[in-house]
Amino acid sequence: MAAATKPAADTEFLLGLYRQMVRMSALEVALTKLSRDGQLRGSLHLATGQEAVPAGACAALRKDDYLTVTYRGHGYVLAKGVDLEEVVAEILGRATGLNTGKGGKMHLTDPSHGLLGANGIVAGGIGTAVGAAMASWMDGADRVAMTVFGDGTLNQGHAHECLNMAGLFRLPVIFLCENNLYAEMTHLDKSAKVTDLCKRMETYGIPAVRVDGNDPLAVFRVVETAVAGARNGDGPTFVEAMTYRTCGHYQNDPGTSYRTLDEIKEWEAKAPIPRLQASLYQQGAAADELEKIHREENAAVDKAVKAAIAAPEPPVSVLLEDMFV
């Protein structure tokens, strides 16, 4: 399966993708500052340079479609439409957070937007997405599920059990793999003998398609096709989005000890936000318009951070709540 060549999307749609990417980036800048200032507890896993994949992929989903992501999935959470202020408050451990401060950034969950969870275990949420797709299949419904993970996840057994069953039962699920070449700090070449991830899908009878993950429109089109197939009863698709994390694995990893500066620079030159900006200018978008998007998204993130900082932490009285319904 290959991404079909389609006519250029209209500028408005591209501006929407651009806005999502800018929002994610603005959030990352704000979180980095909070982390450095000691105002953010725990680990911070960013996805700088990978903004195009969530923007493009989520644009192909409906609000009621299911989604699971990993601890690096904040871009998807926002692009799926989850409230920015609740997300930021959760990341800062506030009572007003999406999950009342009990989960934090690694466990962002909002079933009202189909988000069945970010996950601290790299393959941990794949079964959840495949199971939600199974529920849709049982009901003959047209809701699909998408599960997002990195190349490293394909070396965890749970992923393969779920891929096998999704292929076996032809479940309406999209396996979106962000291949950024590194599983934490280890290169794909050092993790698997067969590094052609699409080829590994042949085992499961799941059609696979590789796409330029730094091109949100290309990602959108591939995922859109996969989603249409899944809604239509054609079963799962594996999408391998080729991208690169120009930041480190987490806040204390500069990302330079296991990668060359040349390699990082090469990918920075292909970074999706400037790239989309350039093509928007080519399509005649006004600089004012793009600047306005940056201004608005920065302001929205800034407002969310201020609100979260002003919000209370959860009271100790809720410690034992939410165990059982």
Partner 1 sequence: MSAVAAASRVIGYTQAINEALVQEMERDPNVFVMGEDIGRFGGMFRATEGLLERFGEKRVIDTPISESGFIGMALGAAMAGKRPVVELMFVDFSLVAMDQILNQVAKAQYMTGGKAHVPLVIRTQGGGYKGTAAQHSQMLEALFVHVPGLKVVAPATPADAKGLLAAAIRDPNPVFVLEHKQLYAAKGDVPEGEHVQFLGQARVVRSGRDISIISYSYTLIQALEAAATLEEEGVDAEVIDLRTLNPLDLRTVEGSVSKTHRVLIAHEAHARCGIGADLAAQIQERMFDDLDGPILRVCGADVPVPFAQSLEDASLPSAAKIAARARELLSGTPPLREG
Q: By the criterion CB under 8 A, which residues form the site for partner 1? A: 66, 68, 97-103, 107, 109-112, 116-117, 119-121, 124-138, 145, 157-158, 161-162, 164-165, 168, 321-325
Let me know: does 60 contact 80? Beta carbons within 8 Å.
Answer: no
The CB-of-316 to partner 1 minimum distance in angstroms stands at 15
The CB-of-295 to partner 1 minimum distance in angstroms stands at 32
Closest to partner 1 by CB, 118 or 247:
118
Query: What whole-number distance in Å separates Cα of residue 54 and Cα of residue 146?
Result: 11
Candidates 164, 152, 98, 102; CA nearest to 127 is: 164
Closest to partner 1 by CB, 194 or 320:
320
Residue 280 CA, chain-centre distance (Å), reads 23
Closest to partner 1 by CB, 119 or 180:
119
Residue 121 CB neighbours (<10 A): 13
The CB-of-86 to partner 1 minimum distance in angstroms stands at 10
Closest to partner 1 by CB, 104 or 216:
104
Query: 145-150 and 115-117: which strand pairing?
Result: unpaired
The CB-of-149 to partner 1 minimum distance in angstroms stands at 13
Candidates 75, 135, 80; CA nearest to 110 is: 80
Closest to partner 1 by CB, 161 or 268:
161
Candidates 21, 6, 58; CA nearest to 214 is: 21
The CB-of-177 to partner 1 minimum distance in angstroms stands at 17
Residue 135 CB neighbours (<10 A): 13
Query: What whole-number distance in Å separates Cα of residue 321 and Cα of residue 325?
Result: 9
The CB-of-159 to partner 1 minimum distance in angstroms stands at 9
The CB-of-162 to partner 1 minimum distance in angstroms stands at 5
Closest to partner 1 by CB, 4 or 138:
138
Closest to partner 1 by CB, 136 or 246:
136
The CB-of-223 to partner 1 minimum distance in angstroms stands at 19
Closest to partner 1 by CB, 159 or 219:
159
Closest to partner 1 by CB, 139 or 262:
139
The CB-of-106 to partner 1 minimum distance in angstroms stands at 9
**How many Cα atoms sit within 13 Å of 270 on the Cβ side?**
18
